[in-house]
Amino acid sequence: MNTHTAEKRYLSELTTALRLRKISGARIGEIVAEVEVHTAESGQSAQEAFGPAKEYARQFEPTAAEASGRRWSPAATLGVLTAALGGWLLAGGVTAGMRGEAELGIPGWWAALLGAVILLGTFCFVPIDAIIDPRRPNAQRYGRGWLVGMVAASAAVVVLLLVGLMWITG
């Protein structure tokens, strides 16, 4: 395994270990940036400089705000229920549309489209704790834009495939 791959694996393991300790994304970004800067300046590997990633992560305790901020809330329950409804409508609409049937009394492709819209709307409100590199504060790795974009792209692909199949078999 080359050095670059070993460093990426170390940072990935460190990030996961810190997430499991309920450390915020902003703090994880700071810790990862410190590791990257130190290894670049010293020439040491992260493993040599800091030890195993899981053990290094153990020295970071969540702040009071971080520890108390991750509770299951009524909003989270509502989000899970609306995402389940959207997924059910999307999947049911696709299968009903392929058979030329209705789902909940509406044409299958409309049900699929409605499910995709509900899913997209639900994911627009999912709280995101993005890992932010303090050296590049505008370069969030996987923030809300990424999540919504991936959900929108996935839903668009499913709906387009359904429309294409209905047109071909039509």
Comparing 22 with 70, which gets the higher pLDDT? 22
Mean residue pLDDT across the chain: 81
Task: Check residue 55 and give its pLDDT.
Answer: 94
Question: How far, CA to CA in Å, does 146 sit from each of 25, 97, 101, 124?
Answer: 15, 29, 34, 11
Q: Each residue of 41-94: pLDDT tens digit?
A: 998 889 999 999 999 999 998 887 777 765 666 777 888 899 899 989 988 988
Task: Check residue 93 and give its pLDDT.
Answer: 87
pTM attached to this predicted model: 0.58
Task: Check residue 58 and give its pLDDT.
Answer: 93
Taking each helix axis as running N to C, give the angle between helix 25-42 and helix 3-20, from 0 to 180 degrees, rounded to the nearest 10.
150
